[in-house]
Amino acid sequence: MLDTAALPALPRAERVRAVDDWLAGLLAEALAGTPRPDRRRGGPSPEPAATGVALVAVGSLGRRELPPHGDLDLVLVHDGRPEIAALADALWYPVWDAGMRLDHSVRTVSEAVSVAAEDVKAGLGLLDARHLAGDPAVTAGLRTATLASWRQHAGRLLPQLRDLRRARGRQVGELGFLLEPDLKEAYGGLREGQVLRALAAAQLADEAPADAGEAYAFLLDVRDALRARTGRANDTLVRQEQAPVARALGLVTDGVPDDDLLLRRVSLAGRRLAFVADETWRRVDTALVRRPRARYRRVRREPLAEGLVRQGDEVVLARDARPAADPGLVLRGAAAAARADLLLSPYTLKVLAVHAPPLPEPWPPELRWSFLRLLASGRSAVPVLEQLDQEGLLARMLPEWDRVRSLPQRHPWHRYTVDRHLVEAAAAASELTRDVDRPDLLLVGALLHDIGKGWPGDHTEVGMTVVAEMAARMGFSPADVTTLSAMVEHHLLLPDVATRRDLDDPKTVDRVVEAIGADPALLQLLHALAQADGAATSTSAWSPWKAHLVAALVARVAARLGSAPVPEPVLEPTAPQVTRPAPALEGHTEPVTVGVEDVLDGQQVTIGAPDRPGLFSLCAGVLALNQLDVRAARVSVAGGHGTLVFAVRPHFGRAPVPEILADGVRAALEGTLPLAERLRQRERDYSQDAAGGRPPRISWFDAEATGITGLVEVRATDRAGLLHRLTAALAEAGLDVTSATVETLGGDAVDAFYVSDPAGTAIDPAQRRHAERALVAAAGGDAPDPAGR
């Protein structure tokens, strides 16, 4: 009897051998208990029991890759014997009794081949057929017929297989860039290795190179360790399992499991498999295209650059090219390929990898020009840079690149590894080159702005030094080197200030000018770099609203520097498109009014109401109850009437309704709407809004305060009604909120408030301490009543 409980702990080869032996014994027992009738005489057949029947393994067992808790994919192949159903029952039931998951079928050779010819998945599985027990001739006949059928129908089946993999890649993502990758189904995962074998079996591609086989074997090891750790059939390397898997595989740094090293190696393996698969599919697609027959067909060769020609859909070396004597050939070829939206041929890449000489230092102008032409090609440069990276040519030109290659970024905003993020940023920057005076510095700055993440310490401080060395080696002038270093130093300045500070506060503009100096050209470059960096990060990191705020900040700084007129304020009370006055409240002479208008990436809600302590908090609570996320707000008070302008975005895509908001504000002012209780209920209903265990961080920024106005920033776990709670806490501490900016970073919120004492005096230390205690309590879910009831 097979000890299934011990199987997960066995090495893969021993696990496969144990299952093979057990299944072979099961078939022998089944054959012994199921006599074969003699068709001519009606008695037992004189032929051996195993003649004409074979147990065949397919899938992971067929490939000798059975993982812990894996399925057994088995086919009972026979020559038409009538007792096959009884034999199958005698074979399958012991497998089920052992608790093994079984995917089984009973086929004759012709039946199996017929199914494989119509079903690409079935055909792919049968290519891995391996004899376990019974008649070897039957298995050999199955394999021969399957391979012949696969090659015969390749023109119809392979496009289906290609489309299946591409669709799955779009759904699951690319293994090389996922923080929690599906090791099997993500593009570049284990499926790619299996597909590469199928393409080779169809005789449309060569066997995968050795490094692709090593990448595939490593992913198998990771999957085995993951399944052994979790005790179930799971192929997704989730965050909490990465450290234990790293320890199981011996990926330890200073005695501690290195989950970043694990994820980096998984990324490298996935990218290598994806790259080889892409190259192979290009060859297969070319082979599958039907061309008109011709006795002589001349291949057209179109010159692209010195030493390079276009041949078909690839860039190849010209006949007179001298790779060993031409240091600029690699970058010239890459630029020519990207500009023509082509790729370098695999053979050309291999030749360049072997023969290309080191680049001279500093780079001569023509070499730097080729590099800039490559980056300026935009999206078409991305696959070409990946080609250079996979062949080691990119790191040869930029040795620092190895430090960030496939380096994971744990921030939930980032969708790419560091190196791919930099390439994507350069591609995005190529669309902004006409907006700056120095497009060359923009392209290089975008490519290298996060290069410091490959070293310990603050990536900005380290990156300034690294980029200065790289730029000097590239041949940039000292002044340009200084500018590139400043771009790295301040690449987060504009987004951070624009989303966390009051743009109409002169201190906000002063902060930016003090940081970058009176240099309109650097301001241009930083604005374009912020756009490219945000676009390469994710849509969450660079929304239309954030783009609008950054542009508004840049306009104000440009006006201060004298290169642009003073812009209008970002948030001002405006005439709403829809306004519904509400009836006047008892004891007040003014109604509550609400107006809504569409703005960039959301709506602007303007609320007018009688002024009172905590008005901001009440309105913020009403917006939260209506599933509206606030991103910025401003308050103005005149003659006892408050006007609040909120930039909001619907949490579930439903635009705000003015009548509903007006009723909610009126009820909150009357005291008939229990905001705190309703928000706690909403938090219980949406468990993802629950607060985490980390304490909030409260910071005061005296240098950015204006007169008697203070600036306090709260970083806390995002949750339902957080803005309402925080502003209620400030009101309870006796402070008025005049404006606020709100930003969500993954699961954290960064809320900045401009506050003042209603008495018109500066905020003293005792008020600060009181406010801080109230804010900490509010961030934890405690909501004081701004009305004091």
Yes or no: say if 616 and 644 are a contact pair by the CB < 8 Å rule.
yes
* pLDDT of 583 higher than 50: no
* pLDDT of 569 higher than 80: no
Yes or no: say if 12 and 61 are a contact pair by the CB < 8 Å rule.
no
Please count the other Cβ atoms lying within 10 Å of the Cβ belonging to residue 415. Answer: 20
* pLDDT of 292 higher than 80: no
Lowest mean pLDDT among 23-37, 332-346, 465-479, 772-786: 772-786
Mean pLDDT computed over 285-310? 72
Q: What pLDDT score was predicted for residue 686? A: 57
- Of 97-101, 119-123, 439-443, 639-643, the range with the highest mean pLDDT is 439-443
- CATH number for the domain running over 323-560: 1.10.3090
* pLDDT of 206 higher than 90: no
User: Hey, is 715 helix, strand or coil?
Assistant: strand
* pLDDT of 577 higher than 50: no
Residues 6 or more apart whose Cβ sits within 8 Å of residue 312: 286, 299, 300
* pLDDT of 151 higher than 60: yes
Yes or no: say if 556 and 503 are a contact pair by the CB < 8 Å rule.
yes
Question: What is the location of CATH 1.10.3090 in the chain?
Answer: 323-560
Strand order of the sheet with strand 53-58?
102-108, 72-78, 53-58, 130-134
Give the relative orientation of helices 439-448 and 459-473 as an angle to the nearest 10 degrees. 130
Of the two residues 460 and 288, the one the predictor is more confident about is 460
* pLDDT of 506 higher than 90: no
Mean pLDDT computed over 427-449? 94
pLDDT bucket at 783, cuts 50 / 70 / 90: low
* pLDDT of 785 higher than 70: no
pLDDT bucket at 718, cuts 50 / 70 / 90: confident
* pLDDT of 610 higher than 60: yes
Give the position of tokens 């090389």.
176
End-to-end CA gap in the chain: 73
* pLDDT of 136 higher than 90: yes
Per residue in 450-503, pLDDT tens? 999 999 999 999 999 999 999 999 999 999 999 999 999 999 999 999 988 888
Q: What percent of the chain has pLDDT over 70?
A: 89
Please count the other Cβ atoms lying within 10 Å of the Cβ belonging to residue 738. Answer: 19
Mean pLDDT computed over 238-267? 94
Q: What are the start-end ranges of the H helices in 42-189?
A: 59-62, 84-97, 109-118, 120-126, 136-152, 154-172
Structure tokens at 16: 């496969």
Burial (CB count within 10 angstroms: exposed 0-12, middle 13-18, buried 19+), residue 482: middle
* pLDDT of 85 higher than 60: yes
Yes or no: say if 390 and 346 are a contact pair by the CB < 8 Å rule.
no
* pLDDT of 676 higher than 90: no
* pLDDT of 291 higher than 50: no
Q: What pLDDT score was predicted for residue 691? A: 43
Give the position of tokens 């070829």.
333
Of the two residues 752 and 566, the one the predictor is more confident about is 752
Residue 722 CA from chain centroid, whole number:
28
Question: What is the location of CATH 3.30.70.260 in the chain?
Answer: 593-779
Strand order of the sheet with strand 301-305?
301-305, 308-311, 314-317, 343-344
Q: What pLDDT score was predicted for residue 589? A: 46
Q: What pLDDT score was predicted for residue 580? A: 42
Q: What pLDDT score was predicted for residue 564? A: 63
Of the two residues 570 and 578, the one the predictor is more confident about is 570
Mean pLDDT computed over 180-189? 93
Of the two residues 601 and 769, the one the predictor is more confident about is 769
Q: What are the start-end ranges of the H helices in 568-674?
A: 615-625, 658-670
Return the DSSP state at 180: S
Q: What pLDDT score was predicted for residue 118? A: 85
Rounded to the nearest 10°, the torsion over CA 318, 321, 327, 331 is: 0
What is the number of alpha carbons within 13 Å of residue 735 lying toward its C-beta? 31
C-alpha pair distances (Å), 172 with each of 124, 166, 368:
21, 10, 38
Yes or no: say if 46 and 36 are a contact pair by the CB < 8 Å rule.
no
Tell me how far apart the alpha carbons of residues 210 and 191 are, in angstroms, rounded to a whole number.
17
Question: What topology does CATH give the domain 7-152?
Answer: Beta Polymerase; domain 2 (3.30.460)
| Overall residue count recorded for the chain in this entry | 789
Mean pLDDT computed over 289-312? 72
Tell me how far apart the alpha carbons of residues 742 and 721 are, in angstroms, rounded to a whole number.
12
Q: What pLDDT score was predicted for residue 455? A: 94
Of the two residues 746 and 152, the one the predictor is more confident about is 152
Question: What topology does CATH give the domain 156-287?
Answer: Four Helix Bundle (Hemerythrin (Met), subunit A) (1.20.120)
Query: Residues 296, 298, 301, CA angle at the centre, nearest 5°?
Result: 175
Q: pTM to 2 decimals?
A: 0.80
* pLDDT of 239 higher than 70: yes
Return the DSSP state at 363: P
> What mean pLDDT is reported for the chain?
87
Question: What is the location of CATH 3.30.460.10 in the chain?
Answer: 7-152
* pLDDT of 62 higher than 90: yes
Tell me how far apart the alpha carbons of residues 781 and 719 are, in angstroms, rounded to a whole number.
9
pLDDT bucket at 578, cuts 50 / 70 / 90: very low
* pLDDT of 541 higher than 80: no
Q: What pLDDT score was predicted for residue 407? A: 94
Query: Residues 274, 278, 279, CA angle at the centre, nearest 5°?
Result: 120
| Nearest C-alpha neighbor of 466 from the set 428, 536, 456, 327 | 456
Question: What is the location of CATH 1.20.120 in the chain?
Answer: 156-287
Lowest mean pLDDT among 5-14, 251-260, 536-545: 536-545
Q: What pLDDT score was predicted for residue 43? A: 52
Per residue in 70-80, pLDDT tens? 999 999 999 88
| Nearest C-alpha neighbor of 382 from the set 343, 418, 348 | 343
| Nearest C-alpha neighbor of 232 from the set 223, 243, 221 | 223
pLDDT bucket at 582, cuts 50 / 70 / 90: very low
Positive or negative: CA dihedral 314, 319, 323, 329: negative
What is the number of alpha carbons within 13 Å of residue 531 lying toward its C-beta? 23
CB-based burial, 558-586: b 16+ in 10 Å, e otherwise: bebbeeeeebeebbeeeebeeebebeebe
| Nearest C-alpha neighbor of 239 from the set 226, 254, 228 | 226
- CATH number for the domain running over 593-779: 3.30.70.260
Mean pLDDT computed over 428-449? 94
Tell me how far apart the alpha carbons of residues 56 and 77 are, in angstroms, rounded to a whole number.
7
Return the DSSP state at 259: H
Of the two residues 655 and 729, the one the predictor is more confident about is 729
Widest distance between CA atoms in the chain: 114
Give the relative orientation of helices 478-489 and 439-448 as an angle to the nearest 10 degrees. 50
Q: What pLDDT score was predicted for residue 157? A: 86
